[in-house]
Amino acid sequence: MPQAIRHWVAGQSSAEDIRLINQSIQKAPVRNLSAEIQQLHQQEQQLSRQFQDTAFFAGITDGFGINSPVFIRGNPQNLSDEKVPHRFLTSLSTEGEVFRSAGSGREELAEAMLSPENPLTSRVMVNRLWHYLFGRGIVETTDNFGLQGKLPTHPELLDFLAIKFQEEGGSVKQILRYMLMSQTFRREVVTGADLPKNDPENLLLSGFSLRRLEAESIRDAMLATSGSLDSAMYGPSVPVHLTDFMQGRGRPRESGPLDGNGRRSIYVEVRRNFLSPMMLTFDRPIPFSTFGKRNETNVPAQSLFLMNDPFVAQQAEVMARRVLAQKGLDEEARIQWVYHWAFAREAGPDEVQRAKVFLQQQAETYKVSPDEIMQSATVWKDYCHTIFNMKEFIYLI
């Protein structure tokens, strides 16, 4: 036993040493402890008995504090004579104190990043949250606050939000709530001629800029509208659906379901060599590095995808079956039902009229009699498919 303790102090314990030490601790008598401590000790013993056959080991340990020289002009063969001690970035630190820890200095680095004296971390965070809500950050270059990045459109607002974020303990929920409840977020969408002449890009936020949904949100919106969305949280990821064109080394033996079992997009598996065509079409970044700001393109492939992809057609069919299941609704009431689910609003008179004309045209194409339109899954599937292809479905208006 003494030898096992010496090995533990020296950091050279074997599995047998740890077993002996644990046995000694468990058998040691517990005296002069409060009732609360004795209760915790009993709970610890009960939990330990559940893991008797499990070996525990330290998977991650703090490294040693090794100072390294500077690679002059990036050349590893040309080293500086002086080794640089561990410290925070001197360009951001007001004091530039050297980390005193004998370890790697990770704890000191985290404390320096979150220090009230360092406002950059809070600025970057609130700017990204602003970007996610409004489509453009106060600093447009979310990944670059340096000289190569763009200047903030509202520097005072950026500082105000950063300070508020710090004062509220870094609560993301609180700062998001504050932004969402602002008059700026609740303004109506402005485009084109509605924008002031002195602010054609809407940098001053006279209204809410038109935004397209992200790829994951578009897919989830289709599932929600068709009634297929599984809103359950957590659980294993769903294998990605493999098309005939997704070939190559490492291809999984089995494909996942076309609709991903209705799970939200965040739970669908991501394989770097077999990425979802829908996600790529609607600009989800390739997962090789981090992206603070996604690209937002408007290309023909997106319209072609919405018209021809089997997933979109499948969800249109599911939604059509839901429409047919609505009893006691006439044709106009069904159209209104579809608009409520897809757009959370009522259809205007002209939209109702165009929908009726479309349904009649499809009935003629499929040789469906006027009396059978209300029960034709094919006709209503095509109508639901057109709903998914409307710009309003994939844009925040």
Instruction: Give pLDDT tens digits for 264-291.
Output: 999 999 998 899 999 999 999 988 888 8
Q: How far apart are CA 110 and CA 170, in angstroms?
A: 14
Same-domain pairing of 257 and 369: yes
Q: How far apart are CA 3 and CA 19, in angstroms?
A: 13
Same-domain pairing of 150 and 279: no
In a domain, 328, yes or no: yes
Same-domain pairing of 382 and 349: yes
In a domain, 232, yes or no: yes
Same-domain pairing of 309 and 374: yes
* End-of-domain residue from the set 194, 221, 239: 194
Q: How many CB atoms lie within 10 A of CB 32?
A: 5
Interhelix angle for 155-167 vs 120-134, to 10°?
110
Count structural domains, the chain: 3
Residues 6+ apart with CB under 8 A from 190: 202, 206, 207, 208, 209
Same-domain pairing of 232 and 146: no
In a domain, 99, yes or no: no
Enter the DSSP assignment of 346: P
Same-domain pairing of 150 and 254: no
Residue 313: per-residue pLDDT: 96
Residue 122: per-residue pLDDT: 93
In a domain, 350, yes or no: yes
Same-domain pairing of 159 and 250: no
What does residue 155 show for φ and ψ, rounded to 5 degrees? -60, -40
Please give the residue range of the domain that contains residue 169.
Answer: 120-194
| Contact (Cβ atoms closer than 8 angstroms) between residue 299 and residue 246 | no
Same-domain pairing of 177 and 221: no
Same-domain pairing of 295 and 361: yes
In a domain, 82, yes or no: no
Residue 231: per-residue pLDDT: 92
pLDDT < 70 stretches in the chain = 1, 26-34, 37, 51-59, 93-96
Same-domain pairing of 301 and 369: yes
Same-domain pairing of 309 and 175: no
Residue type, 166: Q
Same-domain pairing of 310 and 177: no
First-to-last CA distance in the chain? Answer: 72
Query: Is the dihedral angle over the CA atoms 162, 283, 254, 272 positive or is it negative?
Result: negative
| Contact (Cβ atoms closer than 8 angstroms) between residue 362 and residue 382 | yes
- Between strands 68-71 and 79-84, the pairing is antiparallel
Residue 9: per-residue pLDDT: 78
Q: How far apart are CA 41 and CA 35, in angstroms?
A: 10
| Contact (Cβ atoms closer than 8 angstroms) between residue 157 and residue 138 | yes
